[in-house]
Structure 1
Amino acid sequence: MKYFWVFTVLTIIWVVGYGGARAEVSTGMATTQSVDEDSIEDGDVLCFSDGKIGKCSGEYRVDMYGVFSESPAMALADSGLERGKLMLNSGRVGVKVSAENGAVKKGDFVTSSKQAGIAEKATKSGNVLGVALEDYNGENIGKIAVQVDIRQAIISTSARDNLLETLKMGLLAPSLTPLASLRYILAILVVVITFVLGFMYFGKVARTGVEAMGRNPLASRIIAMGVVFNLSLTVAIMGGGLLVGYVILII
């Protein structure tokens, strides 16, 4: 019985001590980058702008670069780099977060915010930092684990909002990475070409149907059914174009 209690106490100490310390350690490979701010703290979201790295200030920043971490699991440190700080741009890391834009739930996308270096819940499509691995709904600035994967994300739930956000982000393509720019350009081209061809095809079929009904009024019902069928086919083709464009955005 005595040994049982000793084992139990040692187990609790290991879980609280080692397990808690481990939760603070990031995963992924950190690299040393020259940061142009002195007030950088563990968990700050950083952006690369005008050739300098500093705290992100502004929502859905397309120049998000990574997160400063004081305790990465692995690091390629460069001790000779002036003003060097360890940064991660992929993997699990503790990130400073605010609930100003709504409570953060596990699985939510998080992005940069108006508060310098602080992340917040992403509520619309745009550039995101990654996915929250913990809930947060505090009044002050807190820190949660985030699976960092900086990319564009489609978040809006309505088709109208998705379309508007896609067009808006497409206009930002020159400021995105080459791969992200290519995805948006291809998606816009696919959607535009599909709609143009669909309207051209339907216009041709409708005109031909009207002419046919004029020449043969007795077969007008059959001709009208053919026009309706072609209209349905056109709508299906347009929907297919939208689906292809959406797939291009999310791959």
Structure 2
Amino acid sequence: MGNFRLALVVVVFLVLAVPGITLAQAPAALGGVAVNVEVKDEDVQAGDIISLTKEGLVRTAAGYDVSMYGVVSAAPILSVEPKTDTSKSVISSGETDVRVSTKNGAIEVGDFITSSEDAGVGQKATESGYVLGKALKAYSGDSVGTVPVAVSLGYATITTDKGPAAAAGSFLQRLAEAISDPDKFGVYLRYFVAGVVGLISVFGAIFAFIRFMNTGLEAIGRNPLAKKTIVGGMILSGIVVAVLAASGLGIAASIIRFGK
């Protein structure tokens, strides 16, 4: 009880003493810390998905947009940076209501939500790509509505029943979009390089492990008396291969994070 009171006092002190920190005037339905920023879009409204472009923050108007910045929130539980008449509270992490449509299918709990070609409106993600987060409630309305979303911007891998041709078509479409926008191209290039490094690491490790196993078994067959020594060498080789594979995956993850 004492620790709770102390924490409450600290929070109240920070809110009162630190400029730019504001609590919601009314209880917020969802939790989320927002940043008050200037949005260069006069038609933006609460629940809109916005992207960071060369012109500034505007409503997102492309599917799986890698430039997604966050969601405009009407009443965040906490906001930082001074609030002005023209600024908007934007949440980039946490839970908030998001405007969505069912143009890509009805939304179920746990579905990934991404941007769409309708300005500011999200949709169900049906293929791998950049997403806004996960839906916390289902939605199947015919018109644009709102659903609470756990916002966590990033790339999501979505498994579908589409064949290789459809997957290749989707990849080429994303590649064309990336080439047309230099900012997006850099992001896609990072993911591509990271994927290549990751695949080389995994398949290289599997190939090396199989080769070491075959060589070891052949050596045991030729010299059974040295079985313990050979098995020890095989185990050591396996450990080295595992370390190299883990290092490769770590490098791939670092490539994805680079530039964010």
TM-score (norm 1): 0.62
- Name the residue aligned to 2:135: 132
1:54-133 to structure 2, matched below 5 A, reads 54-79=58-83, 83-133=86-136
Distance 1:48 1:201 in 2: 45
| Letter aligned with residue 106 of structure 2 | A
Asked if the contact 1:34–1:53 (Cα under 8 Å) also holds between the matched residues in 2, the reply is yes
Q: CA-to-partner distance for each residue in 1:48-105, whole Å, 9 max, x for gaps?
A: 111411110010000000000110000114135x731110001000000101100000
Asked if the contact 1:62–1:175 (Cα under 8 Å) also holds between the matched residues in 2, the reply is no
| Letter aligned with residue 99 of structure 1 | T
Structure 1 segments (4+ residues) deviating >2 Å: 156-177, 183-187, 192-202, 248-251
Distance 1:131 1:52 in 2: 26
| Letter aligned with residue 32 of structure 1 | N
**CA separation of 1:79 and 1:190: change in aligned 2, threshold 3 A:** closer
Give aligned-pair identity as a percent: 28
**CA separation of 1:39 and 1:195: change in aligned 2, threshold 3 A:** same
- Name the residue aligned to 1:27: 31
Highest Rg: 1 or 2? 1
Asked if the contact 2:126–2:160 (Cα under 8 Å) also holds between the matched residues in 1, the reply is no
| Letter aligned with residue 36 of structure 2 | T
Q: CA deviation at 1:199?
A: 8.5
Asked if the contact 1:46–1:54 (Cα under 8 Å) also holds between the matched residues in 2, the reply is yes
Unmatched runs of 5 consecutive residues or more in structure 1: 1-20, 203-236
Q: CA-to-partner distance for each residue in 1:94-131, whole Å, 9 max, x for gaps?
A: 00010110000000000001110000000000000000
- Name the residue aligned to 1:15: none
- Name the residue aligned to 2:223: none
Give the root-mean-square deviation of aligned CA atoms: 4.3
Distance 1:127 1:159 in 2: 18
Q: CA-to-partner distance for each residue in 1:169-188, whole Å, 9 max, x for gaps?
A: 799575329xx93x652331
Distance 2:198 2:77 in 1: 43
Q: CA deviation at 1:197?
A: 8.9
Asked if the contact 1:67–1:89 (Cα under 8 Å) also holds between the matched residues in 2, the reply is yes
Unmatched runs of 5 consecutive residues or more in structure 2: 1-25, 179-183, 211-240
Distance 1:196 1:160 in 2: 26
- Name the residue aligned to 1:229: none
- Name the residue aligned to 2:17: none
